[in-house]
Amino acid sequence: MPIDNSSKRDIRALDLEALRAFFESHNQQAFRADQVYQWLWQKGAHSFEVMTNLSKATRELLDASFVINHIAVDRQQRSADKTIKNAIRLHDGLTIESVLIPTETRSTACVSSQVGCSLDCTFCATSQLKRMRNLNPDEIYDQVMALDSQSRLYFDRPLSNIVFMGMGEPLMNYKNVIMAVDKITAGLGMSPKRITISTSGIPKMIEKLADENPKFQLAVSLHSAREEVRNSIMPFSTSFELPILLKSLQYWYLKTQSKVTFEYLIWKGINDTQMDIDALVAYAKKVPSKVNIIEYNPTDAADFKAADKEVIERYKQALERARITVTVRRSRGKDIDAACGQLANKLVPLEH
């Protein structure tokens, strides 16, 4: 008969001081907490049994008191271009996604921050999934550790970069995302500068983040610098007008001295005119920034078709003439469900 762990608390919800207090309350030396913490957040332990520098009695005490609700890779898809997409099953049965994107020299982890999403970007497959809950710091951490293991297994190297561009809006799970970044940088020994938080643009939270003077990078999913166009493809943005967003990004740069990256998809018949190009150039010039043009990876959204390559080139040339750094990122994983939300849509029932 299976053991019911539902009444047990996940040990990773405790900070180090609370863990020390637990050991002291059970007449054990407080330094045991440091050992357990190292197992959890540096070695990524998924059971108490593997904590071999603890006595059997201590491991049994932990097992009787706590659980470790680790994730499981429920399904994996591998692309011809070596991109790996994972459907991740959480302890409560919900599903999220994570992606490993390799190049010749780098391995980038794309991780989720929420189950589903509360925003309504019409081009995104995740928007078809209602937001069910925020991810805990350990669930974000576990995604990164799983992708790091895959990178070492398939490409013989650790992760080099992490982007929060999976399911969910990271700044709407602010506390847990910040905590997860701290655990990830400590656990993997990775510089925060190699981590990018990608937001759809929530000015108040961008300013809150800037006040903490973080060392990681900030990216904003812009997709149009024309108010009417942006509102049509990202309806929630009617609450965050472009001038207000710009003011928060200027504040970000003032506090951090770190350039903003504008993530920008281009679609046929939506934002592919000269007016759209001119608007982006004018907007990007108002804050130290760079632009990352992303080739659209089609979802089931019939209204969205990738723009012609000639249009992408016109964007690129206009930005370069304005001395704005621009890169064009080709879509990865076209032969698998690699657009955000596609794989999860196939594995969990949609609720509207």
Does pLDDT of 267 surpass 60? yes
| pLDDT (tens digit per residue) in 9-22 | 999 999 999 999 99
Maximum C-alpha span of the chain: 72
Model confidence at 239, pLDDT cuts 50, 70, 90, reads confident
* Confidence category of residue 3, pLDDT binned at 50, 70, 90: very low
124 annotated active-site: no
Query: What pLDDT was estimated at residue 143?
Result: 96
Residues 200-212 have pLDDT tens digits of: 999 999 999 999 9
The pLDDT value recorded for residue 106 is: 94
The pLDDT tens digits of the residues spanning 49-86 come to 999 999 999 999 999 999 999 999 999 999 888 999 99
pLDDT of 307 > 60? The answer is yes
Average pLDDT over all residues of the chain? 89
Lowest mean pLDDT among 70-74, 122-126, 197-201, 289-293: 122-126
Complete domains list, the chain, with CATH = 9-67 (1.10.150.530), 72-347 (3.20.20.70)
| Res 88: pLDDT | 95
The residue annotated as part of the active site, out of 117, 121, 124, 340, is 340
Which is higher by pLDDT, 339 or 292? 292
The catalytic residue among 24, 60, 97, 320 is 97
Active site residue 110: no
Q: Tell me the mean pLDDT in the region 148-171.
A: 95
Which amino acid belongs to residue 76? Q
Radius of gyration of the chain (CA): 22
* Residue 235 binned pLDDT confidence (cut-offs 50, 70, 90): confident
In this prediction, residue 101 carries a pLDDT of 94
Q: According to the model, what pLDDT value does residue 163 have?
A: 96
How many Cβ atoms sit within 10 Å of the Cβ of residue 258? 17
Residues 329 and 196: beta-carbon distance below 8 Å: no
